[in-house]
Amino acid sequence: MANKEAFHNKRLPDMRNAFSWGLRVSDFKDIFFVTGHGDCNPEFVTQYPGDPVAQTRHILNQMKAFIEESGFSIQDIVRTDWTFVKDVDSDQFGGIAAVWEEFLADVEVKPATGTLRYVDRLGMEDMMVEYEMMLAR
């Protein structure tokens, strides 16, 4: 298992419940990249159109199962990347952040997070959020 050490940046907001401003990872032997996941099923049907909070919950549940099926754990997450469509508003963002905090609640060392990107459209018309992850152990 990788050694992880989180760093808080006191010049920025305290986000330690959701992510780490900096993360040192050492003594790892495996890296696992999880390509962007959006809210769709194997038939390319969006499950929660227009609801980025429900999409986030659905995606994180899918990603957790995929991570575990691949022999990793959410404890191994070292980086996440978030992409939203421009229609996601600040109230919805708060709901999304709450879902992420719930998802990471038992993760001892929170992952670093990449730049939050806002785009005009994602791969499927009804998708509002997409997430990527990097894991190390």
Judge whether residue 39 has pLDDT over 80: yes
Q: 71: left (phi > 0), else alpha (psi -120 to 50), else beta?
A: left
Percent over 70 (pLDDT), the chain: 99
Report residue 120 as tokens: 């005009």
Question: Tokens representing 53?
Answer: 């909070």
Phi first, then psi, for residue 85 (nearest 5°) are -80, 160
> Mean pLDDT in the chain?
93
Instruction: Answer whether 0.85 is exceeded by the pTM.
Output: yes
Instruction: For residue 53, name the pLDDT band (cuts at 50, 70, 90).
Output: very high
CATH code matching the domain that covers 32-106+114-136, chosen among 3.30.70.260, 3.30.1330.40, 2.40.110.10, 2.30.30.30: 3.30.1330.40
**Of 20, 127, 39, 120, nearest to 78 (Cα)?**
20
Of residues 69 and 11, more confidence is placed in 69
